[in-house]
Amino acid sequence: MKASWVYRLLLVTALIAVPTLAQAKDKDKGPEARPIYNRDQWLPPSVPTSDDVLRIPVPADFNAPKGSFVLVGGRLFDGTGKPARPATIVVEGKSITAVLGPDDKNWPPDAVVYDVAGKTVMPGLIDLHTHLTFLEGAADASIYSSANTSGAESVMRGVKRLGVYLESGVTTVRDVASHGDTPFVLKRLQATGELPGPRIFAAGQLITQTGGHAALHAFQPGYPEIADKNPNSMVRIASGPDEWREAVRLQFAKGADLIKLASEYSQEEITAAVDEAHSLGLPVTVDSETQYIDMAIKAGVDSIEHPLPRSDAAIALMAKRGIASVPTLVAYRIIMRGSGGYFGSTSRRFELNETVNENMVAKMRRAGVKMGIGLDVVALAGTGFLPGSYIDELESFHRIGFTKVEALVAATKTGAEILRMGDRLGTIEPGKLADIIVVDGNPDEDFGALRKVKTAFVNGRLMLQDGRIYKAAHEEVPMPTAK
């Protein structure tokens, strides 16, 4: 009798367990949104395209400077993870055409020769999280939250910051929300060489719901009903799946390289936005936390910003699906050291401190989540913290388990991959774009050497010389002759 009772109990337990195990096995059914449309698939490799995510057909010499140059006598850290080695780098136009041995002089006879003996040549650094036009802490509260900041003023803030980035060795920035069309204006001027600074990948406006994270930057104080769709704002308010799709389309129409979303949102809203972005060939990154990270993963986003709380199951799914992380540890460190905490935000209702944040990022590293370097240091002193803020983020990566070489790879090669530009940026190899910095020291051994960036080329153009912004002298255009 006793054996029969035990048998029945085991049978009932097994019957209950069967669907539970099946559900666990089938828990990840894949993303709800469609995968990213491959914009290259209809173009043969012989057709040149723009050097951004849009991959628009362009003339072969589009945005390419004339002439060639070589960097001779230095040690090369190529960004692939290989040890640094003596090498000569050959650049023609905007592209790296050869990496030669130190004794090989097989370069164009008219090339400009730069002697970089005793210095390290490496790929330019990438900052995956910036807001080029964000107002700094000196602005008063009414302007700080206004959607109607001057476009001219926004451009001037961006120009200033681009110069500081370049002096700090950053040759690529990913702008994940700025005012109006400013980031696209700055991107165009930088790409043509008119404006010295890092190349720009722009998201346009951040998309969130009414009352969502950063929504205060969309509203003109006292007039929220007329400002929530203001094209000059750095935030776009959207309600419902159709409006989230439309908000994505508007950023694409302006020239966005990616889409930035922020909690809070419904599952239907974020799935619609990700689906629309992917249909246009654009990756999606999201600023979210807790359950909203679960929704973002379910939708199929491509990366998640910040070290905010998420479950172990969410981390495992990020690793499985290849969803990247941009932790921005240094931003939270500056905020909490400056004010004692992260206060006054309805989207930060949980414990945040340096230990909790680093433990979260260490968990993601152990799980195999791809991680890149992004600072998000825009308020308070903004870019005034550079290059120290970038060095601090590298040191954070080192503390959580990255070797120094791996941290620099995260700052270069991995950053390019997260941008979906790994075929053109992030390493010094033949065929890559010539975004190169020359450092007086060995940053792969001592991150502090990045305080001594002496030279920088972006797209093959000299933009930093002797640690100072370089711009070629004006060339006079002949006056028209009388007829």
CATH number of the domain enclosing 414 = 3.20.20.140
- Whether residues 147 and 285 share a domain: the answer is yes
- Whether residues 318 and 432 share a domain: the answer is no
Phi, psi (degrees; rounded to nearest 5) at 32: -75, -35
Closest CA to 297 of 329, 263, 331: 263
The tens digit of pLDDT for each residue in 141-158 reads: 344 444 557 788 889 999
**3-state secondary structure at position 115:** strand
Structural domain ending residue among the three candidates 425, 441, 459: 425
Contact (Cβ atoms closer than 8 angstroms) between residue 243 and residue 298: no
- Give the CATH number for residue 459: 2.30.40.10
Residue 2 lies in a domain: no
Residue 148 lies in a domain: yes
Tell me the mean pLDDT in the region 251-256: 97
Q: Look at residue 39 and tell me whether its pLDDT is greater than 90.
A: no
Closest CA to 51 of 251, 203, 200: 200
Enter the DSSP assignment of 472: P
- Whether residues 251 and 262 share a domain: the answer is yes
Q: Look at residue 451 and tell me whether its pLDDT is greater than 80.
A: yes
What is the extent of the structural domain holding 207?
125-425
Rounded CA-CA distance 171/372 in Å is 15
Closest CA to 121 of 96, 142, 104: 96
- Whether residues 248 and 323 share a domain: the answer is yes
Residue 373 lies in a domain: yes
Assign 232 a pLDDT band (cuts: 50, 70, 90): confident
Strand partners, 437: 122, 456
Residue 54 lies in a domain: no
Structural domain ending residue among the three candidates 425, 455, 476: 425
**Cα atoms in the Cβ-side hemisphere of radius 13 Å centred on 159:** 10
Residue that wins the pLDDT comparison between 229 and 102: 102
Residue 327 lies in a domain: yes
Rounded CA-CA distance 362/291 in Å is 20
Rounded CA-CA distance 117/404 in Å is 23
Residue 45 lies in a domain: no
Residue 453 lies in a domain: yes
- Whether residues 136 and 248 share a domain: the answer is yes
Rounded CA-CA distance 111/466 in Å is 20
Share of the chain above pLDDT 90, in %: 74
Enter the DSSP assignment of 49: B
- Whether residues 260 and 383 share a domain: the answer is yes
Enter the DSSP assignment of 442: -
- Whether residues 224 and 331 share a domain: the answer is yes
Phi, psi (degrees; rounded to nearest 5) at 240: 90, 155
Rounded CA-CA distance 123/456 in Å is 9
- Whether residues 151 and 200 share a domain: the answer is yes
Q: Look at residue 452 and tell me whether its pLDDT is greater than 90.
A: yes
Rounded CA-CA distance 233/224 in Å is 12
pLDDT (0 to 100) of residue 313: 97
CA dihedral 218, 224, 225, 229 (to 10 degrees): -10
- Whether residues 252 and 394 share a domain: the answer is yes
Structural domain ending residue among the three candidates 425, 452, 476: 425
- Whether residues 290 and 237 share a domain: the answer is yes
Contact (Cβ atoms closer than 8 angstroms) between residue 167 and residue 453: yes
- Whether residues 232 and 96 share a domain: the answer is no
The total of structural domains in the chain comes to 2
The tens digit of pLDDT for each residue in 377-404 reads: 876 567 889 999 999 999 999 999 999 9
- Whether residues 299 and 325 share a domain: the answer is yes
Peptide bond into 387 cis (omega under 30): yes
Residue 156 lies in a domain: yes
Provide the 10 A C-beta neighbour count for residue 137.
11
